[in-house]
Amino acid sequence: MNTQPFVDFALQQQALQFGDYTLRSGRRSPYFFNTAAFSEGGAIRQLGSYYAAMIIKSGIEFELLFGPAYKGIPLVTATAAALAGRLDRPVPFCHDRKVSKDHGEGGILSGADPRGRKILLIDDVLTAGTAARQSVALLRHRGGLPVALAVALDRGAQEADGSLCRARLTRDTGLRCCAIINLQQLAARLAELPAYRDRAHLLRPDGPPLDKPEPDGV
């Protein structure tokens, strides 16, 4: 899969930002990949098409998509719409809420029923897998069968022993992980662009957390 068009698209939407960030995992990072930057109808539709193409290419078998609140909600909506068009069949999806409702349909989940269905999680980035683990626990508690995780960017984060967080997530949860791009592909494209060449070296794999995780980190 040619990743250059997606990287250029993300840069055009200013999804890649540089600074001093604390991630949800407690790790410090000099860059942040922000899918909230895809905040216009045409952009989120195009982003959904990239997710859909990657998912189809991966061959993952699923019956339901799930997007964790908040950023996962527009991502799963756009991806479900794009997949429905490409596959020419209904693609049900659901998402959670930060706070459970006690009125209307109630509950912590909104959308299609996950019970007994193979579920593909849709999220923005994969770092330590904290959000994915929480989603897996939630969905299994409600009878769902999480099988895979699809993200825009795999940051290539490492555990204290040097192993990949992605590999540990798969061992612990059984999730197959796939991404539109990985960190090496993103850095390689930046090195080719004059406007970003001097910052490509900042895109290095995240090491183990140095600080306590913050519940509402970046």
Residue 155 contacts residue 169 (beta carbons within 8 Å): no
- In the set 57, 95, 103, 118, the catalytic residue is 103
Tokens at residue 9, please?
């698209």
Pairing of strands 28-33, 107-111: unpaired
Question: SS3 string of the chain?
Answer: CCCHHHHHHHHHCCCEEEEEEECCCCCEEEEEECHHHCCCHHHHHHHHHHHHHHHHHHCCCCCEEEECCCCHHHHHHHHHHHHHHHHCCCCCEEEEEEEEECCCCCEEEEECCCCCCEEEEECCEECCCHHHHHHHHHHHHCCCEEEEEEEEEECCCECCCCCEHHHHHHHHHCCEEEEEEEHHHHHHHHHHCCCCHHHHHHCCCCCCCCCCCCCCCC
Active site residue 98: no
Active site residue 101: yes
- In the set 57, 101, 141, 201, the catalytic residue is 101
Q: Which residues participate in catalysis according to the annotation?
A: 101, 103
